[in-house]
């Protein structure tokens, strides 16, 4: 690839390259098989030679994404990044999301940067709590969802029962593209509902290589599998009768969800998923700005920061801002404008990052994710552009549910303390709230999940060399308020008013009863809810 030589050419290549992109994330409950599926996808696209080398959990080989001891000890993935690979003629961007519920805010931010989501469901467990939460976020954002029923090689629920569960719990109409032949645990393969063919499932040892998917005609399948195949055919007909056939418009409109049956650990169904993404998932489109006006793909370069991260590992102690490109062509080295400060930002160090693997990016297009190195000025939600200014909608901050006063253990480390707190705030690791009552030296940290406190404490000590004490506060609820309401809120028992770094005022309450009491007493007071983690 070479850099575009004229604006017209750049616009044309932005549009053409965007059409080849598929940018998505996997949403699932921990243990449904997200890491396994990610490995299998990468293996399929031949990014790496053997499953396990990209990503994994405690004890697995090449646990690339566990950049912190804490993450490794617990076997959870906190950081997120993007994996890019070619498949057929398409370029796939798979954005990684942290699995643990305490980091749902991070996942939410990642979901602002995708065009589609894969909802991964454990065949034995069905729709679990975290899947439902993330599903709600996708629905709220109107992100089309492809459903993958995983672990079909193991005993699990009945396939039709799972379809009912999807309908009842998500309101989406499941439209299976494949249908299992053999019950969960006796996986013979799948019936491809569009061609009527049989894709036979063959096991491979540990899923380390791509399972050969043998394609048989319906006649061959009948001869081979007998009644089991005929039953799958009957069920597939039943699905057609009940209107469960794929419909592109209703999929893109978030009304239906194509369903695939898979065994990620054996790499079965992974090729079908990639084909589905390429054939059906939407390519990047022009993105609405904060006023709702769409900036087309052909417009000059623009992007927004959806994640900021630092201290990824000892070898790279730097700060990375991940941007999702929305329009135009990104060329490394170009000088763009940072919307919030209107200052120029030089993109000399641009990388693609997945786990510990980094590659320099020279050119990128709408839908792509680029990690900008040493991007100290960039915060989550910031817009970047060249030529024509644009401000993308701010990335929503979740309503925090846990609060703690943070103090430096060593008062001599005041500078390090301040710097660390500021950085954690702009990265969105925690929300930092200031209160007049407590002063600058002891701000209030607010989080959605308590594990975020652990990350903050760990990083303050190890990265900023400023060990901290946290004193938990008894609040569990935050509401947006205004300056006029402050005296009344402050005078009420069990509440406190604090200020976000963007100037917004928040009233903190111990529980909803304290809030209700205040509302009953003063009906004119301004108290607006923030976006809740459980939408
Ligand atoms: P997560 O990232 O969603 O949390 O899940 P992960 O991929 O780590 O998978 C959780 C467990 O489920 C792993 O087993 C994994 O091997 C298993 N698994 C994933 N996909 C399939 C599948 O299609 N079939 C079967 N039978 N198992 C699957 P583990 O015992 O926790 O880890 P490991 O020792 O196997 O690595």
Strands, E assignment, 29-127: 82-87, 90-95, 116-122
CATH topology of domain 21-280: Rossmann fold (3.40.50)
Distance 270 CA to ligand 1 centre (A): 15
Distance 442 CA to ligand 1 centre (A): 43
Q: What is the pLDDT of residue 96?
A: 80
The DSSP element (H or E) to which 164 belongs, if any, is helix 159-170
254 conformational bin, left if phi > 0, alpha if psi -120 to 50, beta if neither = left
From 107, 265, 268, 269, mutation site for ligand 1 pocket: most ligand atoms within 8 A of C-beta: 265
| Closest by CA position to 246, among listed 195, 194, 197, 282 | 194
Q: Which CATH class is domain 402-529?
A: alpha beta
Nearest 5°: phi and psi at 456?
Answer: -65, -45
Intrachain domains 21-280 and 402-529 with the same fold:
no
> At residue 486, does pLDDT exceed 80?
yes
Give tens-digit pLDDT for 282-315: 999 999 999 999 999 999 999 999 988 765 554 5
> At residue 439, does pLDDT exceed 80?
no
> At residue 413, does pLDDT exceed 70?
yes
Q: Are strands 178-181 and 383-385 parallel, antiparallel or unpaired?
A: unpaired
- Sign of the torsion angle spanned by Cα atoms 68, 120, 533, 30: negative
Kindly list the distances between the CA atom of residue 372 and the CA atoms of 191, 224, 241, 462, in Å, as whole numbers in the listed order: 44, 54, 51, 23
Residue bearing the CA closest to ligand 1, atom 29:
31
62 in a known ligand binding site: no
Confirm if 368 and 330 have CB atoms less than 8 A apart.
yes
> At residue 219, does pLDDT exceed 70?
yes
Distance 201 CA to ligand 1 centre (A): 18
Domain 287-385 has CATH 2.40.30.10: yes
Distance 40 CA to ligand 1 centre (A): 12
382 in a known ligand binding site: no
Can you tell me the distance from the alpha carbon of 213 to that of 40, in angstroms, rounded to the nearest whole number? Answer: 14
Structural domain spans, the chain:
21-280, 287-385, 402-529
Distance 72 CA to ligand 1 centre (A): 16
| Closest by CA position to 451, among listed 19, 74, 62 | 74
Q: Are strands 256-261 and 173-176 parallel, antiparallel or unpaired?
A: parallel
Give tens-digit pLDDT for 349-384: 766 665 556 666 788 999 999 888 777 788 888 999
State the chain's maximal CA–CA distance in angstroms: 80
User: What is the predicted ipTM?
Assistant: 0.97
DSSP letter string over 182-200? S-TTS--EEEETTT--EEE
The DSSP element (H or E) to which 326 belongs, if any, is strand 319-327
| Closest by CA position to 44, among listed 279, 266, 200, 283 | 266
Mean pLDDT is lowest, of 404-413, 465-474, 498-507, for 498-507
From 35, 36, 65, 268, mutation site for ligand 1 pocket: most ligand atoms within 8 A of C-beta: 36
Confirm if 270 and 264 have CB atoms less than 8 A apart.
yes
- Alpha helices by DSSP H, 6-84: 7-20, 34-44, 69-74
Residue bearing the CA closest to ligand 1, atom 6:
33
Residue 355's SS3 state is coil
Confirm if 71 and 79 have CB atoms less than 8 A apart.
yes
CB atoms under 10 Å from CB of 330, counted, come to 25
Give tens-digit pLDDT for 159-215: 999 999 999 999 999 999 999 999 888 889 999 999 999 999 877 655 556 666 789
């Amino acid at each position: 690839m070479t850099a575009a030589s004229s604006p017209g050419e750049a616009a044309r290549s932005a549009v053409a390259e965007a059409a080849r992109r598929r940018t998505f994330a996997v949403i699932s409950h921990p243990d449904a098989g997200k890491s396994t599926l990610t490995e299998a996808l990468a293996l399929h696209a031949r990014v790496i030679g053997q499953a396990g080398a990209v990503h994994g959990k405690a004890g697995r080989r090449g646990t690339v994404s566990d950049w912190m001891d804490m993450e490794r000890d617990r076997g959870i993935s906190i950081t997120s990044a993007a994996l890019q690979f070619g498949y057929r003629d398409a370029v796939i961007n798979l954005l990684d999301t942290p699995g643990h519920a305490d980091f749902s805010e991070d996942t939410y931010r990642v979901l602002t940067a995708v065009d589609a989501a894969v909802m991964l469901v454990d065949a034995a467990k069905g729709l679990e709590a975290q899947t439902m939460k993330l599903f709600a976020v996708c629905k709220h954002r109107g992100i089309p969802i492809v459903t993958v029923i995983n672990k079909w090689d193991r005993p699990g629920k009945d396939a039709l029962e799972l379809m009912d569960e999807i309908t009842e719990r998500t309101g989406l109409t499941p439209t299976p593209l494949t249908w299992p032949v053999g019950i969960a645990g006796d996986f013979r393969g799948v019936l491809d509902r569009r061609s009527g063919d049989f894709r036979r499932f063959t096991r491979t040892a540990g899923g380390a290589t791509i399972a050969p998917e043998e394609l048989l005609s319906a006649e061959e399948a009948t001869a081979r599998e007998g009644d089991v195949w005929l039953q799958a055919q009957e069920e597939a007909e039943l699905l057609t009768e009940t209107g469960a056939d794929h419909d592109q418009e209703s999929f893109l409109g978030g009304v239906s969800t194509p369903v695939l049956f898979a065994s990620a650990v054996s790499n079965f169904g992974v090729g079908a998923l990639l084909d589905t993404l390429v054939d059906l998932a939407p390519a990047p489109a022009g993105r609405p700005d904060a006023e709702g006006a769409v900036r087309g793909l052909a417009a000059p370069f623009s992007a927004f920061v959806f994640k900021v991260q630092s201290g990824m590992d000892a070898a790279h102690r730097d700060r990375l801002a991940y941007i999702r490109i929305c329009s135009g062509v990104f060329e490394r080295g170009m000088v763009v404008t940072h919307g919030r400060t209107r200052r120029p930002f030089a993109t000399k160090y641009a990388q693609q990052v997945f786990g510990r693997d980094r590659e320099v990016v020279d050119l990128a297009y709408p839908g792509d994710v680029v990690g900008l190195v040493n991007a100290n000025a960039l915060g989550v939600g910031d817009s970047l552009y060249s030529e024509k200014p644009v401000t993308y909608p701010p990335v929503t901050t979740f309503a925090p549910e846990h609060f703690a006063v943070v103090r430096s253990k060593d008062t001599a480390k005041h500078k390090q303390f301040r710097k660390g707190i500021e950085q954690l705030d702009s990265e969105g690791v925690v929300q930092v709230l200031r209160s007049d009552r407590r002063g600058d030296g002891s701000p209030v940290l607010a989080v959605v999940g308590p594990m975020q406190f652990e990350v903050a404490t760990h990083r303050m000590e190890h990265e900023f060399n400023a060990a901290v004490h946290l004193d938990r506060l008894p609040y569990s609820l935050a509401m947006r308020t205004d300056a006029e309401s402050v005296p009344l809120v402050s005078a009420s028992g069990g509440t406190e008013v604090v200020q976000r770094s963007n100037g917004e005022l928040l009233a903190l309450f111990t529980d909803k009863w304290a809030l209700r009491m205040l509302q009953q007493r003063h009906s004119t007071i301004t108290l607006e809810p923030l976006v809740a983690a459980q939408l």
